Amino acid sequence: MCGVAVLSFGVYMMINFKITALTPNLAHFNIANILLITGIVITCVSFLGFLGALKENRCLLLTFFLLLFLLMLVELAAACLLLVYEREIAELVRKDLDEGLIKAKGNTGNTTTLKSDWDLLQIQLDCCGVNNQTDWGKSIPLSCCKSTNCNPPGIREKGCLVKLKTLFEDNFLTTGISVIVLCIIEVLGMCFAMTLFCHISRSGLGYKL
């Protein structure tokens, strides 16, 4: 259930939160892809444990225990790296957004796609440009306007970088609690798997399928 929930959340973010085109250098490390991969791995590992418990197979249970343990270590390591290198990651995101904005203002072939992604981001986050509307120069897009009036009073004041930081800070506690709950569930899964493994060993069932 946790695996399917993480997978579904990854699909939701991929559909409704398109920031990949705006950060080309970080495209392979976007949150949606990470959640999709994590959800698939958790689902597959969980099915392995379910099958091992159903068949009372020690080999499958031990494999499930080891994979779940490694998965938990990877999740904790990723969380620690995000906390330690928070400033470096924020700087990378800022540079990538600057490059994406320059490309969106240029005359390249994918300008239309980039501008539509910027329009979507600016409307959803109620922002304009990376730092403010001056990033767009004289060609301020309509998505920067709060209404049909694009005069300075009617332009969104805050930049998207500040809005993204605020968004992550506001959801930091929820994300932390989710990671802790997921780790607790994984620890319980490992405990139940090892308990069943020892019970099967004492019963002398061996590796019978």
The string of pLDDT tens digits covering residues 17-35 is: 666 556 666 655 667 777 8
Confirm whether 128 is domain-assigned: no
What does DSSP assign to residue 136? G
Structural domain count of the chain: 1
145 forms bridges with which residues in the sheet? 155
Q: Is residue 148 situated within a structural domain?
A: no
Q: Is residue 27 part of a domain?
A: yes
pLDDT in tens, 102-141: 877 765 555 566 677 788 878 888 888 888 888 887 777 8
Q: Does a structural domain hold residue 139? A: no
- Domain that residue 41 falls in: 1-102+160-203
The answer to whether residue 137 sits within a structural domain is no
d(C-alpha 159, C-alpha 20), whole Å = 18
Kindly state whether residue 140 falls inside one of the protein's structural domains. no
CA distance 21 to 100: 7
Q: What's the average model confidence in pLDDT over 61-66?
A: 90
Using DSSP, state whether 131 is helix, strand or coil: coil
More confident residue, 154 or 5: 5
Q: Is residue 110 situated within a structural domain?
A: no
Q: What angle do CA 90, 95, 98 make, to 5 degrees?
A: 125
Report yes or no on 173 lying in a domain. Answer: yes
Identify the band that residue 87 occupies on the pLDDT scale cut at 50, 70 and 90. Answer: confident
